């Protein structure tokens, strides 16, 4: 029973830490593309800011993966 709860906790950690950052990345990309469409001359600054923000959002998913590994390893 304990292993089933541990597996469920790890699955929830992965699912939640993947779902919400994925939605945030979609919204960030959408906003960046709309901004570039409105102001093409600012594309370079928008692109660099977008890549930085996507990297920070992706870090949240990696933290969720780390937590799932810690749950599975019972650390």
Q: List CB contacts of 58: < 8 A, sequence separation 6 or more.
A: 21, 25
Please give the pLDDT value at position 2: 82
Cα–Cα distance between 71 and 8 in angstroms, integer? 10
Helix orientation angle between 43-73 and 2-38, rounded to the nearest 10 degrees: 180
Tell the CATH superfamily of the 2-73 domain.
Answer: F1F0 ATP synthase subunit C (1.20.20.10)
pLDDT tens digits along 2-17: 888 999 999 999 999 9
With tokens 């901004």, the residue in question is 35
Q: Are 25 and 54 in contact (CB under 8 A)?
A: yes
Domain boundaries defined on the chain: 2-73
Question: 46-72: per-residue pLDDT in tens?
Answer: 999 999 999 999 999 999 999 999 999
What H or E segment, with its residue span, contains residue 20?
helix 2-38
């Amino acid at each position: 029973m304990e292993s089933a709860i541990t597996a469920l906790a790890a699955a929830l950690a992965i699912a939640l830490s993947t779902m919400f950052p994925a939605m945030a990345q979609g919204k960030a990309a959408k906003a960046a593309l709309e901004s570039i469409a409105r102001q093409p001359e600012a594309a370079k600054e928008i692109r660099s800011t977008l890549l930085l923000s996507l990297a920070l959002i992706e870090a949240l998913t990696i933290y969720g993966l780390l937590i799932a590994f810690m749950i599975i390893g019972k650390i």
